[in-house]
Amino acid sequence: MGVFKTHLRRSGYKITAPREAVLAVLENEKGHLHPSDILLKARAIHAGVGRATVYRTLDILKMLNLVRPIYINEAGPSYMRVAGGHHHLVCSNCGKVVEFDACNAGDLQRKLARKHRFVIQSHLLEFYGQCEDCRN
């Protein structure tokens, strides 16, 4: 059973077939997903998934601190898992987003947690600038 499904059950939420399809998409996809992408992928699993189910499930997962919205461009929020870290290079001119994995924030995270007596569950690191295409 997936982490999201387990948390929803423990919190008293029903796991319907459409909701389970949404959870499967969120569990299996890496990176960030726009609700319309979640809807398309969830409908491939269960044809009865509606837009409202996607948004209600995302709201529940946000409330349970399992996903978070990220705002990269004007298309509205995308959603990603809270656990771990997530890193972007964002072009301030065209909005291009490049994800990268190499991150040395682990040491900083440990120091901040110790100094401020804080349990850090995840981080989001974004650098803004201009991509090569916009500079040319």
Which architecture characterizes domain 83-135 according to CATH? 2-Layer Sandwich (3.30)
27-33: Cβ within 8 A, 24+ apart? 27/2, 27/3, 31/80, 31/86, 31/99, 32/70, 32/72, 32/78, 32/79, 32/80, 32/86, 33/78, 33/79, 33/80
Q: Per CATH, is 3-80 categorized as 3.40.50.300?
A: no
The model's confidence at residue 74, banded by pLDDT at 50, 70 and 90, is low
pLDDT (0 to 100) of residue 21: 96
Least confident of 8-17, 43-52, 67-76: 67-76
Query: pLDDT digit string (tens) for 20-58?
Result: 999 999 988 877 789 999 999 999 999 999 999 999 999
Using a 10 angstrom Cβ sphere, with 0-12 exposed, 13-18 middle and 19 or more buried, the burial of residue 31 is: exposed
Domain ranges of the chain: 3-80, 83-135
